[in-house]
Structure 1
Amino acid sequence: MSLTFQNVSYRYPGSQQGLHEVSFDIGPGELVAVIGPSGSGKSTLLKLVAGLETGYQGRIALAGQDMAGTPVHQRGIGMVFQTYALFPHLSVRDNVAYGLALRKMSTAQRHARAAELLEVVGLSDFAQRGVHQLSGGQQQRVALARALAIDPRALLLDEPLSALDASVRGHLRDQIRALQQQFGATTLLVTHDQEEALAMADRVAVLKEGRLLQIATPKDIYEMPNCRAVAEFVGLSTMLEGQVASGGRVDFGFAELSVPTGSYRPGQKVHALIRPEHIEPDPQPGQTNTLQGRPGASRYLGSLTRYDFAVEGAPRAFLAEGRQPARQAIAIAPEHIRLLDA
């Protein structure tokens, strides 16, 4: 089932925070992750879909049905919260079956459905336990099973992994994605974790100050951001200010580099985005866009080292990463420099 936002605006009373004419669609079975700085409107969007906030302008539709005025319990939406929100007095099985009890399903049917979902999430042996006996990752799997048990028309994930240890987060992230695809659930994920969004989503939407800046595939959001705000928020980068000198050349003040200038004309001011993995250390003599300098602070991250590289005259150090820091020079291939409007 599709989930549609058409010119959705909402403002909290006495505040400028909210949403401003947000429009996008989530296709049947698609997972869209919404990211953005604190106060950007991520959680507000989720609450409006769930019916936890009302009084918005525009249209929110699920499978073509306008959600305005539809009570929370009649929306057919499954939700997984950051804090699990499980019932401490119920067993694992009864937590999963809770939504089915509200739908007046027989006890035998509820238990059968709960057993089926617990098998799917790998918790069959824990059905009779209290939820307090489970780890955080196990509790979140119970919450996911409960949300899926009702065959939801849409699934809402509100920071589902943020309370978990890093060692658990990666595995459960992949498990949630696999289950979402298995059940074909149309899903809206709200997260502050960019890696989580890029790894799980079919598309990523970036919000800032209540406005939708861009929605695209994870690859396009990272490699082809449509503005400086998206480029700086998603991933790490070095951002330079320059002026187009001629076709295929941009003057950055400290150096003139070869860059695909496309439709930009000589004299236009631009921003240039360079990702750290695209900086080549100690290139061969005569290589295009070679810059002399010296390494600065470095951070060992196991599979790679992230480091600063100072180029004489540059307004800031270049952020680079690789097996070893560059010693005397770096190079950036022209195709790895993305120009954005200044």
Structure 2
Amino acid sequence: MSLVLDNVSYRYPGSTHGLHEVSLDVRAGELVAVIGPSGSGKSTLLKLVSGLTTGHTGRIVFGGQDMSAMPVHQRRMGMVFQNYALFPHLSVLDNVAYGLKLRKVPVAERHRRAQELLGIVGLSGYAQRGIGQLSGGQQQRVALARALAIDPQALLLDEPLSALDASVRGHLRDEIRAIQQRFGATTLLVTHDQEEALVMADRVAMLKDGRLLQIATPRELYEQPASRAVAEFVGLSTILPCTVCAPGRVDLGFAELHAHTGSRPVGTVLHAMVRPEHVRADPAPGSVNRLQGRTGAQRYLGALTRYDFEVPGAGKPFLAESARPAAEAIAIAPEHIRLLDL
């Protein structure tokens, strides 16, 4: 079932912080990741959808039904918290079955269902263990199994992997995505990890200061950010002020470059964004958008080196990535210069 936020606003008492007229839809079976800087409203959005926070304006509609006045236990949503919120005095099996117990499901049936879900998350042999005997990654799987046990119509994931080591996080995010797709659960994922959002989500929504700046596929968000704020937050880039000086050309002050200016008239003030992977090292003399300069700071990343390339007069270096840093020149193809309106 689809989840729709229709012009939802919420303000914390005595504060201007919260959400401001947020509208977005999560299609049936889709995973939408919500990203943004601290204080952007990510967790507030999730709490409003779950019913843990109330008092908003606008509508939150799930499966065609407005849930604004519906209590938490009637929303049929499974939630996985950042700190897992597992019960240390219960076994793994009883933690998974807890929601079914509250719904008065008979013991045999809830244990059968809990055991089935432990198998799905790869913990079949852990049913009688205590929570304290599990690693962080195992506890997260228990939390996910518990959320799925009630056969939720939606999943709400609040920073589910933030407490885990990077090596565990990468593996577990793939498992969570596979399980979400298997169950076809309509899912909202709140995360501060951009890579996690780009890898796991069908679409990514970015919030800033409580406002929705853009919702798009991961590729669209990265390659076609709608604003400078999105471009600066998602991925790495070089962003420089520029002016349209002729059709298909922009003036950066220190150089004129060919770029796709569209219908923008001469004199339009913009920002030019270049992703580091689109900076070509040591192009041939006469190449389009060739810039001379020198290599500055370098950061070895294994297969690639990320480095600064300093162009005289630019004011800031171009961030670049390649197997071999440029010696004395770089070039950027016109199609790889993204122009951002002010």
Alignment correspondent of 2:285:
285
Alignment correspondent of 2:247:
247
> Could you tell me how far 1:149 is from its partner in structure 2?
0.8
Q: Provide the secondary structure at the position in 2 that maps to 1:88.
A: coil
Alignment correspondent of 1:195:
195
Residue by residue, what CA displacement relative to the aligned partner does 1:8-41 show, whole Å, maximum 9, x if unpaired? Answer: 0000011110000000110100000000111110
- Which sits farther off after the overlay, 297-306 or 24-33? 297-306
Task: Give, in whole Å, the separation in 1 of the partners of 2:67 and 2:315.
Answer: 51
Alignment correspondent of 2:269:
269
Alignment correspondent of 2:208:
208
Task: Give, in whole Å, the separation in 2 of the partners of 1:303 and 1:101.
Answer: 51
Alignment correspondent of 1:313:
313
Alignment of 1:126-165 (within 5 A): 126-165=126-165
Residue by residue, what CA displacement relative to the aligned partner does 1:114-158 show, whole Å, maximum 9, x if unpaired? Answer: 111011111001111001101000000000010011110110000
Q: Does residue 1:296 correspond to 2:300, yes or no?
A: no
Task: Give, in whole Å, the separation in 2 of the partners of 1:105 and 1:172.
Answer: 30
Alignment correspondent of 1:13:
13
Task: Give, in whole Å, the separation in 1 of the partners of 2:263 and 2:23.
Answer: 28
Task: Give, in whole Å, the separation in 1 of the partners of 2:166 and 2:115.
Answer: 29
Q: Provide the secondary structure at the position in 1 that maps to 2:214.
A: strand
Task: Give, in whole Å, the separation in 2 of the partners of 1:297 and 1:220.
Answer: 30
Question: Which one-letter code corresponds to 1:67 in the other structure?
Answer: M
| RMSD between superposed Cα atoms in Å | 0.7
Residue by residue, what CA displacement relative to the aligned partner does 1:273-325 show, whole Å, maximum 9, x if unpaired? Answer: 10000000111121100100011111111221111110011021000111121
Q: Provide the secondary structure at the position in 1 that maps to 2:293.
A: strand
Alignment correspondent of 1:177:
177
Alignment of 1:70-85 (within 5 A): 70-85=70-85
Task: Give, in whole Å, the separation in 1 of the partners of 2:281 and 2:264.
Answer: 29
Task: Give, in whole Å, the separation in 2 of the partners of 1:300 and 1:270.
Answer: 32
Question: Which one-letter code corresponds to 1:216 in the other structure?
Answer: A
> Could you tell me how far 1:244 is from its partner in structure 2?
0.5
Residue by residue, what CA displacement relative to the aligned partner does 1:147-196 show, whole Å, maximum 9, x if unpaired? Answer: 01111011000000000000100000000000000000000000100000
Identity of aligned residues (%): 74
Q: Does residue 1:112 correspond to 2:112, yes or no?
A: yes
Alignment of 1:328-339 (within 5 A): 328-339=328-339
Task: Give, in whole Å, the separation in 1 of the partners of 2:16 and 2:300.
Answer: 42
Task: Give, in whole Å, the separation in 2 of the partners of 1:208 and 1:332.
Answer: 30
Alignment correspondent of 1:94:
94
The ranges of structure 1 where at least 4 consecutive aligned residues each deviate by more than 4 angstroms after the TM superposition are: none
Q: Provide the secondary structure at the position in 2 that maps to 1:226.
A: coil
Task: Give, in whole Å, the separation in 2 of the partners of 1:249 and 1:65.
Answer: 51
Aligned length: 342
Task: Give, in whole Å, the separation in 1 of the partners of 2:310 and 2:68.
Answer: 55
Task: Give, in whole Å, the separation in 1 of the partners of 2:307 and 2:334.
Answer: 21
Task: Give, in whole Å, the separation in 2 of the partners of 1:302 and 1:188.
Answer: 34
Give the structure-1-normalised TM-score.
0.99
Alignment correspondent of 2:168:
168
Stretches of structure 1 that go unaligned for 5 or more consecutive residues are none
Alignment of 1:23-34 (within 5 A): 23-34=23-34
Task: Give, in whole Å, the separation in 2 of the partners of 1:303 and 1:174.
Answer: 23
Question: Which one-letter code corresponds to 2:217 in the other structure?
Answer: T
